């Protein structure tokens, strides 16, 4: 059986990891072992960050809608329930945009939600 020589494969792998660790402090960008650990940790943080970003934006949209609802004398939960009853299918991102950029339109949505709640 032939023996496996890993010259170019190992070199390419090390080069790829060290390039990804460029700009890291100290041995984290020079030594392969510590660079590999740092890159793995960075990738884990990046993965989690992408998930958290979605949660953060949803929280932001809800806060904006809630603030606009308070200006129109209705709670956020009542407003969302009213929209559901009125069969208005707008996502929180769009509602947040309407609330911040077009207050008159948002007020009409609130009126529609209140009417649906009173039925």
Q: Tell me, what's the pLDDT at 4? A: 85
pLDDT of residue 6: 86
Cβ neighbors of 82 (< 8 A, separation 6 or more) are: 74, 112, 113, 114, 115, 116, 117
Asked if pLDDT for residue 2 goes beyond 90, the answer is: no
Report the pLDDT averaged over residues 19-47. Answer: 98
Q: What pTM value is reported for the model?
A: 0.82
CATH fold label, 8-118: c-terminal domain of poly(a) binding protein (1.10.1900)
**How buried is residue 51: exposed, middle or buried, by Cβ count under 10 Å (0-12/13-18/19+)?**
exposed
Q: How far apart are CA 93 and CA 89, in angstroms?
A: 12
Residue 1 pLDDT more than 90? no
pLDDT band at 44 (very low <50, low <70, confident <90, very high): very high
Q: 24-46 burial, b if ≥16 CB within 10 A, otherwise e?
A: beeebbeeeeebbebbeeeeeee
What's the longest Cα–Cα distance across the chain?
82
Q: pLDDT value at position 93?
A: 98
CB atoms within 10 A of CB 7: 7
Say how many C-beta atoms besides its own lie within 10 A of residue 47's C-beta.
10
Domain ranges of the chain: 8-118
- Amino acid 119: pLDDT: 84
């Amino acid at each position: 059986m032939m023996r496996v020589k890993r010259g170019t494969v190992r070199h390419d792998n090390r080069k790829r990891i060290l390039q990804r660790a460029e700009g890291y402090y100290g041995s984290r960008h020079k030594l392969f072992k510590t660079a590999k650990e740092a890159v793995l940790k960075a990738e884990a943080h990046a993965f989690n960050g992408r998930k958290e970003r979605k949660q953060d934006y949803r929280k932001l949209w809800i806060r904006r809608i809630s603030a606009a609802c308070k200006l129109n004398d209705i709670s956020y939960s009542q407003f969302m329930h009213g929209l559901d009853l009125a069969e208005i299918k707008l996502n929180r991102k769009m509602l947040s945009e309407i609330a911040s950029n077009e207050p008159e339109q948002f007020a009409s949505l609130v009126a529609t939600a209140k009417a649906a709640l009173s039925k």
